[in-house]
Amino acid sequence: MAPMFPGGFMYQLSELLPPTRIVNLETTDKASALQRLLDVLAETRAIKERVAAEEAIMSREVLMSTGVGYGIAVPHARLGTVDEFACALGISQDGINYSSIIDDRPVKLVCMIVGPNGKHDEYLKILAMLMRFLKSERGKILAAYSLGEVHGFTLKYDTSEGGPSSSATRFGGAS
């Protein structure tokens, strides 16, 4: 987690979404894509109980699709078995039939987030940061030559107010 600043918490997207949690998705099936991202979170020990995470993610999808339009989906869940927030990003060049209620377009970017119960404000700020990132960097992500390049795009995003890296100058970093 990035340094705290007066009045709150701050998370860096590059820490929530390390290179080991960015993958290519070789499927056009929604359930398979979600399973792959759950596998990534389990393999990197971001989730302790994969079954609990799977049930939470899948039941959320039954309630309402997490496809948000623009070819983007953000499946998410809060669990008592998760200690820290974590993300996994799946990239599909072919697109996934995701049944988005917004535009029903194939989804090319699926960013899964899991987090602990009881941190509602942090959760909402992380979701907002992810949406800023995915909408702003969508074209670059899909055109990237490597997954490492994709991770590089995350470096300027955090949960402070505003757009990309409005806090970078506040903490002495480059913007």
What's the Cα-to-Cα distance from 16 to each of 29, 31, 169, rounded to whole Å? Answer: 25, 23, 21
8 Å CB contact between 89 and 150 = yes
DSSP string spanning 40-100? HHHHTTS-S-HHHHHHHHHHHHHHS--EEETTEE--EEEETT--S-EEEEEEEEEEEB---
- Residues facing residue 12 across a β-bridge: 158
User: Phi, psi (5° rounding) for residue 39?
Assistant: -60, -45
Say how far apart CA 27 and CA 34 lie, in whole Å: 10
From 76, 125, 151, 156, the catalytic residue:
76
Is residue 120 annotated as part of the catalytic site, yes or no? Answer: no
**Which residues are designated catalytic?**
76
